[in-house]
């Protein structure tokens, strides 16, 4: 059947696949025919994602990609890839006056340094096929807006938005494309660990013209587009998925 968005025959790595957006990306990519390699630190939750994947030649690799040994063992165990979804990340709301050097390290290690280092290692270890597509889960935060306590997170994501543009230029000659998705608030666990109160979320939802937060699958569909042949002429793009939030 004609389907320019098909991922049939493609092998795709998804980081942060043990929950939230990454899990949805892995599940939806497998439904579109991809063989997926999923990674995260939590063995049990990663396995839950693995069990949810449609039939295919999938792999799961437990790794902390902020450590040298973790990222190296991930890369060593990877097959050749047609796509990589750099999605693992954390939110750590802090007022500027509260920020300590250790906080900067923690947020940047996973949100910024790990995806950049992974990209470099995929290239130097020849793990990317020609015409591979690299997708980064960034955010509207740091590019179009921010939030109180969001300076560090915004900075870590703004760096990614810049990185994908330069990387897109560096890799265009090899027909490797580099793009980001920039979601608004998506209903995942990222804000459910005491970082934001239920009252704050109730107030926040009113700022969305479409009157709801996004679903992880709605980010996954954009990722599928960027991984597929449908976007073969798209590189260096930051793709907003935000229910109209940044219009106001
Ligand atoms: N939810 C939103 O509203 C929203 C909006 C815009 C952008 N984003 C971005 O979307 C991405 C996914 O967020 P989410 O909402 O799906 O959050 P989530 O449910 O908390 O998932 C985060 C994922 O990152 C992984 N991770 C964290 N630290 C890691 C490390 N050191 N090494 C390897 N994996 C690590 C976690 O796996 P383990 O716990 O197994 O390590 C988990 O799978 C993040 O980059 C986030 O910034 C989210």
Q: Ligand 1 mean position to 215 CA, how many Å?
A: 14
Residue 57 in 3-state DSSP? coil
pTM: 0.98
Domains of the chain, by residue range, sit at 11-247
Q: What is the pLDDT of residue 194?
A: 65
Burial of residue 173, with CB atoms counted within 10 A of its CB: 0-12 exposed, 13-18 middle, 19 or more buried: exposed
User: Measured between alpha carbons, how far is 217 from 93 in angstroms, rounded to an integer?
Assistant: 25
Q: Which residues are catalytic?
A: 153
The confidence score (pLDDT) of residue 193 equals 63
C-beta of residue 208 within 8 angstroms of C-beta of residue 179: no
The CATH number fitting domain 11-247, selected from 3.20.20.210, 3.40.640.10, 3.40.630.30, 3.40.50.720: 3.40.50.720
Distance, CA of 140 to chain centre? 13
Tokens of 173: 């000659």
Ligand 1 contact via 167 beta carbon (within 6 Å): no
Task: Determine whether the shortest distance from the Cβ of 222 to ligand 1 is under 6 A.
Answer: no
Q: What is the DSSP code (8-state) at residue 227?
A: H
Q: What is the pLDDT along the chain (248 residues), one digit of tens a residue?
A: 999 999 999 999 999 999 999 999 999 999 999 999 999 999 999 999 999 999 999 999 999 999 999 999 999 999 999 999 999 999 999 999 999 999 999 999 999 999 999 999 999 999 999 999 999 999 999 999 999 999 999 999 999 999 999 999 999 999 999 999 999 999 998 776 666 788 888 899 999 999 999 999 999 999 999 999 999 999 999 999 999 999 99
Helix (H, G, I), strand (E, B) or coil at 122: helix
Q: At what angle do helices 20-31 and 216-227 cross, to 10 degrees?
A: 50
pLDDT at 197: 82
Report the relative pairing of strands 81-86 and 11-15 from DSSP bridges. parallel
Can you list the pairs that 47-53 forms with residues at least 24 positions away whose Cβ atoms lie under 8 Å? 48/18, 48/23, 49/17, 49/18, 49/19, 49/22, 49/23, 52/23, 52/26, 52/27, 53/26, 53/27
For CA atoms 54, 59, 62, 63, the dihedral sign is negative
What atom in ligand 1 is closest to the CA of residue 213? Answer: 3
Nearest to 46 by CA among 15, 72, 75, 68: 15
Distance 173 CA to ligand 1 centre (A): 31
CB-based contact 88:40 (threshold 8 Å): yes
Question: Per the structure block, which two tokens stand in for 146?
Answer: 């921010």
- Tell me the CA–centroid distance for residue 2 and ligand 1, in Å: 33
């Amino acid at each position: 059947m004609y389907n320019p968005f098909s991922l049939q025959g493609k092998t795709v790595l998804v980081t942060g696949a043990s929950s939230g957006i990454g899990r949805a990306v892995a599940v939806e990519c497998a439904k579109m025919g991809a063989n997926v390699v999923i990674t995260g630190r939590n063995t049990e939750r990663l396995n839950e994602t693995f069990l949810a994947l449609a039939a295919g030649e999938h792999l799961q690799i437990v790794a902390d990609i902020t450590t040298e040994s973790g990222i190296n063992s991930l890369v060593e165990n990877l097959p050749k890839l047609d796509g990589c979804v750099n999605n693992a990340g954390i939110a750590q709301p802090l007022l500027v006056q509260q920020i300590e050097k250790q906080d900067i390290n923690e947020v940047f290690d996973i949100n910024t340094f790990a995806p950049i280092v992974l990209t470099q290692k995929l290239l130097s270890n020849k793990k990317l096929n020609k015409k591979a597509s690299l997708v980064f889960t960034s955010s509207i935060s740091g590019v179009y807006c921010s939030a109180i306590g969001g300076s560090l997170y915004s900075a870590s994501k703004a760096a990614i938005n810049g990185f994908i543009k330069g990387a897109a230029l560096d890799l265009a000659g090899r027909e490797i494309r580099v793009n980001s998705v920039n979601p608004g608030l998506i209903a995942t666990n990222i804000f459910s660990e005491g970082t934001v109160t239920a009252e704050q979320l109730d107030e926040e939802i009113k700022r969305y013209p479409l009157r709801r937060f996004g679903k992880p699958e709605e980010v996954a569909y954009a990722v599928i587009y960027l991984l597929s042949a449908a976007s073969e002429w798209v590189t260096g793009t930051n793709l907003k998925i935000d229910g109209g939030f940044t219009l106001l």
